[in-house]
Structure 1
Amino acid sequence: MFLAKAIHEMSDSELIEVYKTSQNKELVGELYKRYTHLVYGVCLKYLKDRELAKDAVMQLFEKLLTSLLSHEVNHFKSWLYVSARNHCLMYLRSVKGKTSQEISSFIMEKVEEPHLEDGEELESNISKLEKCLETLNTEQKKCVQLFYLQEKCYQEVSSQTGYDLLKVKSYIQNGKRNLKICMERND
């Protein structure tokens, strides 16, 4: 079919490359078939509601139609996982108001599921996260906020801040590590 290969035989990278030039939705449909289970699992983990998770999967794949045209995606599966997680966290944030335990858990990359906490513990964690964000140097704080809370990709953070792409990655990695240390210290 495309590039003398059937769609189902094409790699993720090939599908994306051809999609960027042809904008044939069938190609994104193939990616959808391949990764629906992954995206649904991520959404269910964070949203804890089957119907919300199904809606989120559809929203994410609709968003893919435009996102793939404007983002440089080297490792699609990893990129999609992070996009799904960010989508769910932003949804939870919009429902709950300010940053939540889910966002701090995401930044800290805790393996265990965040358990439901009472209001005082949640407020305490939010306060700790906000205080720890303030301890980061200006570059780290700006990059962490843009990347995690505003869902910007590395390139967008680089463009918005004027920092070199490698510096952006370094600021995010070091900022995340410093946040983790600060949060653990304040337990």
Structure 2
Amino acid sequence: MEEDLQWVREVLAGNKQAYAHIINKYKNPLYATILRMTRNPQDAQDFVQDAFLKVYHQLGKYKETGSFSSWLYRVAINHCMDEFRKKRYHSTQVELGEEQVIDSNHPEVVFLKKEKHRQLERLLATLPEDERLIMLLRYANELSYDEISELTDVPLSTVRNKLHRAKKKMRDTVKREGGYFHELSNDR
């Protein structure tokens, strides 16, 4: 976090090259979050680029009281939500390629990871947008409940409730449609 503050201060002092450090640190986790929101790799790339431009132009508004990562995610997710509200964006689900999902080349591992990923994506797609976003922030981006609350402007108790409800809905879907998703039984 201190490293982030140093880079922000350098950018604000005129060192535009320091912004590359911020982009390199956050581009992959931000892309993963936005990809799960849009379910379209090309749109996710465009939204990430737009979000980094927006963050750059709003960097002077960042108050050093909260974590920089939470602020960055808030700007990026708000940008996406604005695009959704403008109805300029229509989600079309695209099957993610194997290389985007796994690292191992073993056929059995490839198959199992791909199937697990497909099941998780289907389960997430059944959730309302607000619950899906909170699940992604918690489990894909590993943010704390407090960070999610700060990022989404949702009270901490509501974040906990939405996570609980989302996991319950996903578990119920797995039970109803068959199969077992081990991670849903772990209460992290």
TM-score, normalisation: structure 2: 0.48
The structure, 1 or 2, with the larger RCO (C-alpha pairs under 8 Å, 6+ apart) is 2
TM-score, reference length from structure 1: 0.48
